[in-house]
Amino acid sequence: MPKLIPKRFSSQEGNSRQVSKPELLSPAGDWECARAAVENGADAIFFGLERFNARMRGKNFTVADLPELMAYLHSRGVKGYVTFNILVFGNELRDAEDFLRSIIASGVDAAIVQDVGICRLIRRLSPDFPIHASTQMSVTSEAGVEFARELGASVVVLARETSLKEVGAIREKTIAAGTEVPIELFVHGALCVAYSGQCLTSESLGGRSANRGECAQACRLPYELYSDGKQVELGNRRYLLSPQDLSGLDAMPEIIENGVATLKIEGRLKSPEYVAAVTKVYRQALDKAWESYIGETEKNLVPFDRQAGKYALEMTFSRGLSDGWLHGIDNQKLVHARFGKKRGLRLGVVKSVEKDGVTLLLEAPLKAGDGVVFDRGRPDEKEEGGRIISVDTKGADSYIRFLGDSINWNRVKAGHTLFKTSDPLLDKELRQSYQVEQPNFTRPVKAVVHGEPGKPITLELQDELGRTVRSESSEPLQTAAKRPLDLDTLQKQLSRLGNTPFHLESLDNRLQGNCHFPVSQLNQLRREAVESLIELRRQPLRWTLKERANATGIQNKKEKDQAKTKPQIIPYLRSFEQLETALSLPYDELYLELEDPKKYKQAVELTHSSHPNKKIWVAPPRMFKTGEDWVIKQLTQCGADGFLARNHEHLKSLSDFRLRGDFSLNVSNPLTAEYLIDRYKLERLTASYDLNATQLAALIERAPPKWFEITLHQHMPMFHMEHCVFCSFLSEGKDFRDCGRPCDKHSVSIKDRTGMTHPLKADAGCRNTVFNAKAQTGAEFARDLLDLGIRTFRVEFLNESPQEVRETLDRYERLLAGQLSGQSLWRELKLINQLGVTRGTLRER
């Protein structure tokens, strides 16, 4: 590997930073996974507890485990981060406070947090406990980093969709602005097709919120693609929304060069063998890349075998490996669409089928005992597979034989693809790496020896973090008559650290004169020093923890005249036809979202010229990535009366305009609402779509109702993703530069396994949103919301015709006026809405 010149990020004199060696962060779902990470070189692990984490369907630790777990981790030089990465509801804040108190008191190294309100709650409880902004916070730009920093975050986990080029740009801009925060980036594991924190699919389809740790993985299912109402023939490419797994192995030099502080491995639901393999491979790859970066050779490093490493990654878990978004978007490479579950290593295509085996040209090694599966192009159906008993190679081809009747040969044909899914020898080797009696991975210590004849000998040990212990002999050193203690003898005895978590990195011999000391007592001195150092490392971290106060409360000022205020509807429109229809109706305010921001100026001029008293608010693209300033320019010059703030960049760049917060800001509790209202001067907020009626009531009851507007009718935006289905399956291009823009020419939808056909839309950044085929209504809860003090409601449209817009708005006006019941409205809407209407996510679950 060529030597890399260290890169300094600087925009002006005095604002440069030297790149540091990244931390390697591994997942741990249980004790075995934690040991697998530690013994294979993780610098830190992240794990969930029994509540408030985004992997509730997996195994987790408990609060009671924390003292023992943290003592173990710290004794091994490993940090432990608790995931608190979900949205928290208003009626859960007291429980969340108690939970956080236990976490902080246990001495964990940090909490990984999604919820703005939880960040605020942590800071009310402790001014110094570290907060890491979760990838669920959807940070994609320097504005997002600044947002997290203001909340107290000391590390920011960027969205998986962020490229290394964008990482470098974010660092340069935050350094120049004085808002730099260490960046954490995913380098391996499953890729969510939707932006984390912005996926509402599980919520919309089954009432299981991904923002609450209950993702149903609808992205891993097969879909059919329709363009202009006709099915697109895609052969066996049916997994349209299932990305290959991320592997940043080959991008390691660039990751270091762009200043990433922490390399994160996904996989809290994975096996300990997976954790062991991936941690080991990335430990070795990172160490090798760092050696090349600094131009020095580090001692005690295991050589990196890239081919063996890639094999281990593919065998422990793989849906196919790609570099994800690290090098930018390549839609053809990101989603192969042939399967959505673990496949492992491709072995080749079956040439012929015999009575107990198959013949093929092997593309990878295979041996007796390995497990394989035949890919028939229908992975959602039962698949044939099993363990092989022999491999006979003659010439180019190999004959693979299976045990007895383990395969139904009627379902295996020539042309099927064979994958290796299991390697028992590799699994055994991985288990042996962490099921050990003495440490497999050790940390460096430096030793200093002091003394002279007639005085005690002193041994100082210093670990990699600078913590130092001293051990002193009870007996003085003697003058050596023959063989004085020399460096070689000291090195030999003090290096005997085999059953400890350390290895001797350096030894400084400061003995004066010819000293003699018995080897047995020198060994005892070493053991005492090591025990003291381990005990020092096991001590829990001490964070400031304030006395209990009203940490979760805010003042709820109910407006006395709120009940007298007439409720209003704001139509939310997505086309010029819908806009023209709404302009003819008696609405003072309109929301407008168009796919092309350049058309907003025309829409605003149309509104203001024809109806000067009407206000038109623009809904910008839901995500913003660094470098997309042209979008902001279009917005600021369009003349809109105000904007729906949908991400961190809008809160910053549009702060001179009237702003209201949209659902994508994920407001689920009063602490979040209060912060956004006060800090960014938002006029109102749309509550998170993750809330059902009870949770919504818990929010409104704990904050002024005038802060909120509620969406009563909409097609739920389910998947919101960087992956472009238009580009992937209606072109041969990799991104907007060579795809031919099929999104401008075709109306596209995807059909799921239940027969529902969900509309697909692209925005200005080529991001796609899959909308629920059925509109949902909260009409049956309208009276409750009115009683709680809500007076502003949204009715959103997608592809509805002008007539449907008119009829839908008329019914909601009658609903709020008390002239139509919620149940009657629901029944009537089903008649006028082509796609049908559901009772929506406000319903109790």
What's the CA gap between 141 and 159, in Å, rounded?
Answer: 9
Is residue 330, in this structure, part of any structural domain at all? no
Domain assignment of residue 256, given as a range: 23-191+245-322
Instruction: Output phi, psi for 166, to 5 deg.
Output: -70, -35
In this model, does residue 510 exceed pLDDT 50?
Answer: yes
Q: How many domains does the chain have?
A: 5
**214 and 234 inside one domain:** yes
774: helix, strand or coil: coil
Q: Do both 504 and 630 map to the same domain?
A: no
Helices 600-610 and 629-636, interaxial angle, to 10°? 10
Residues 515 and 479 in one domain: yes
Instruction: Tell me whether residue 483 is in a domain.
Output: yes
Is the model's pLDDT at 243 over the cut of 90?
yes
Domain boundary among 263, 288, 322: 322
Judge whether residue 66 has pLDDT over 80: yes
Distance between CA atoms of residues 618 and 393, nearest Å: 66
- DSSP state, 505? E
Residues whose CB is less than 8 angstroms from the CB of residue 125 and which lie 6 or more positions away in sequence, other chains included: 97, 100, 101, 104, 545, 546, 551
- The separation between the first and the last C-alpha atoms of the chain, rounded to the nearest angstrom, is 56
Co-location of 424 and 467 in the same domain: no
- For position 386, what pLDDT does the model report? 93
From residue 449, alpha-carbon distances to 78, 425, 484 in Å are: 27, 45, 14
Q: What integer pLDDT is reported at residue 831 of this predicted model?
A: 59
Q: Are residues 127 and 47 both part of a single domain? A: yes
3-state class of 292 per DSSP?
helix
Is 536:333 a contact under the CB 8 Å cutoff?
A: no
C-alpha span between 107 and 572 (Å, rounded): 48
Question: Using CA atoms, how far apart are residues 626 and 169, in angstroms rounded to an integer?
Answer: 7
- Average model confidence (pLDDT) for the chain? 91
Token pair, residue 484, equals: 């004085």
Provide the 3-class DSSP secondary structure of residue 197: coil
Global pTM value: 0.93
Question: 180 in a domain, yes or no?
Answer: yes
Q: What is the pLDDT of residue 6?
A: 42
Domain-located, residue 15: no
Last residue of a domain, one of 744, 771, 798: 771
pLDDT in tens, 278-333: 999 999 999 999 999 998 876 667 788 999 999 999 999 999 999 999 999 999 99
Cite the DSSP H helix spans in 462-599: 487-494, 519-538, 576-583
Instruction: Tell me which H or E stretch contains 680.
Output: helix 670-680
Q: What is the dihedral of CA 260, 324, 724, 777, to 10 degrees?
A: -70
- Shared domain for 118 and 73, answered yes or no, is yes
Higher pLDDT, 259 or 3: 259
Query: For 477, how many CA atoms within 13 A lie in the half-sphere containing its CB?
Result: 23
Give yes or no for residue 53 having a pLDDT over 90: no
Shared domain for 652 and 740, answered yes or no, is: no
- Torsion of Cα atoms, 691 then 697 then 703 then 705, to 10°: 100
pLDDT score of 261 more than 80: yes
212 with 172, same domain: the answer is no
- Cα distances (angstroms) measured from residue 501 to each of 77, 446, 530, 534: 9, 13, 9, 8
More confident residue, 342 or 11: 342
Domain shared by 32 and 137, yes or no: yes
Confidence of residue 7 (pLDDT cuts 50, 70, 90): very low
Residue 553 falls within a domain, yes or no?
A: no
**For residue range 638-691, what is the model confidence (pLDDT) as tens digits?**
999 999 999 999 999 999 999 999 999 999 999 999 999 999 999 999 999 988
The pLDDT, as a whole number, for residue 600 is 97
Same domain, yes or no: 463 and 512? yes
Which residues is 23 bridged to in the sheet? Answer: 262
**322: Cα separation from own chain's centroid:** 17
Q: Establish if 618 belongs to a structural domain.
A: yes
Determine what percent of the chain is predicted with pLDDT higher than 70. Answer: 93
72 lies in the same domain as 117: yes
495 inside domain: yes
In contact, 352 and 358? CB cutoff 8 Å: yes
Cβ–Cβ < 8 Å for 649, 144: yes
Co-location of 756 and 677 in the same domain? no
**Lowest mean pLDDT: which of 216-225, 333-342, 544-553, 821-830?**
544-553
Q: Tell me if residue 632 falls in helix, strand or coil.
A: helix
| CATH number for 685 | 3.20.20.70
Residue 391: inside a domain: yes
